Structure 1
């Protein structure tokens, strides 16, 4: 059995994550496409992890960005310790969650950099703040 996740391993409504160094893209699984091992996801947010701890620094609310269909092996299951603070930040009733006005650009930039980082030597590091 492979260490890489398969699309059929991800269930609908599960929160998954794509990691790129200290940045993490969190998304909700809408459906899986088993025929070519892909996941259809709804982006939620990008967060940065601190090197000293497992705490996440919330960066961008991506709920207004386009949905994605990406290879399942890019994703991992998000941990409860990551998801609970993230959901709390996104859906806090007393706070006006400021959605990224440039959510689509930030999302595409993250995905493009992730593929570039995976396939080519690192040339440039984007600041997504």
Structure 2
């Protein structure tokens, strides 16, 4: 295929087969003359998944959800965690200007026993829960 532009589409290839393997060599034309062709490389056309014998790692959807209760609260609040992971959970509580007020870590199965916010003044607080790569942000109000 001879093109004056620096790109091509597979649909321009005569006899194009989706998912096909194609050998590509490029020669650059400048001032009316072509340079020697470069080394060939193989490309796979889009349309069909390539079968190369490698297996992609299975991705398992992880459930990670949390709620805060009661909300609003008067004395203290608790967290309810629903997660498929048993990894440690980090809890950070921030005030509305971003100041870190509290930071604690728990086993996933024990977070529901913890109480938070007893000493906070009335206001709105952001809670950031982190477990591995999962992050959940909640907001709670103290009356």
Output the TM-score relative to the length of structure 1: 0.21
Output the TM-score relative to the length of structure 2: 0.20
Which structure has the bigger radius of gyration? 2
Q: Whose RCO is larger (CA < 8 A, sep 6+)? A: 1
Higher strand share: 2
Higher helix share: 1
